[in-house]
Amino acid sequence: MSLARRLLLAAAQSHFLRERAPRYRFVRRTVARFMPGEALDDALQAARQLADQGLASVFTHLGENLATASEAEQVTQHYLRVLEAIAVERLPTEISVKLTQLGLDLDAELCYRNLARLLGQVAPDATLWIDMEASSYVDATLTLFCRALAAAPRRARPRVGICLQAYLYRTAADLEALLPLGPAVRLVKGAYREPATVAMPRKRDVDENFFRLTGRLWSPEARQSGVHAAIATHDRALIARIEALARERGVPPSAFEFQMLYGIQRTEQRRLAGSGWRSAVLIAYGSFWYPWFMRRLAERPANLGFVVRNLFN
């Protein structure tokens, strides 16, 4: 892991910086490059503009590790309003939630009840994505995901998807356990600060594992079970390899999608959509953006250039 990435991930966990960094205008200007605003209306406006370009979207309301059941209730109510707004406007938009937002740190049953309420409002042709957090949450997250997946008859249930992180050594085994269930899987590289015993420290190893896992998502067994894959990376070289693999194996566009963050690789997002692939943009919004923003910088330290330019503008 590079020094810049280590420093950025450490900064993401700093309560001191979390309190102070948002006060600086140059930081807020930089954040605006990666999120359309803090309010739901900002996210909806961005989703409308993306839809006009043939791009789908995924909303995530920033926040994690809530302290009370009432906070989890507020987040649940917020996402219910989001789902209602998406349905009213008929936007090609889905939601992605962190289970710690729904009360996982407080009580797993409380968290599951909140998750089930959201699933009850998801459109039949849409996916509710469960985000993956730090490695200490993987087991609990997978348990609740599998429970949600099995909660209704296969043909009747709304689709629920899970995020898997390619930098974790355990992910290949986790994927093998999930494949017979026919899940929706969003594959990401991973953005949390993890020890080298848990996560691959070298970028090239993570990239290769990401490519291998993508191939497994498109294996005959996975396709037969109905797996839907979301390939979430901004790495154009890796995307090119994955496009070639999809064509080589005859994977139809309906079986997967590419996902990227708002404000990153915009030209590539449009190119993928123009090439016939489904392309979705993750739109983050909300006031609790500092740790999320630092993890985004850690994923691609070259983005620090945006920070420096805004400092001197």
Residues 188, 58: Cα–Cα separation, whole Å: 15
Q: d(Cα 11, Cα 266) in Å, to the nearest integer?
A: 27
* Annotation says 81 is catalytic: no
How open is the CA angle 208-214-219, to the nearest 5 degrees?
Answer: 125
**Catalytic entry in 105, 131, 174, 207:** 131
- Catalytic residue list contains 207: no
* Residues 219, 265 contacting (CB under 8 angstroms): no
Q: Which of 159, 186, 193, 278 is catalytic?
A: 186
| Burial status of residue 253 (CB atoms within 10 A of its CB: 0-12, 13-18, 19 or more) | exposed
Q: How far apart are CA 111 and CA 298, in angstroms?
A: 29
For 6, the token pair is 């280590």
C-alpha distances (whole Å) from 179 to each of 42, 73, 121, 185, 247 are 36, 32, 25, 9, 22
The total number of residues written for the chain in this structure? 313
Residue with tokens 């789902």: 83
Q: Cβ atoms within 10 A of the Cβ of 242, count?
A: 24
Catalytic amino acids?
A: 131, 186
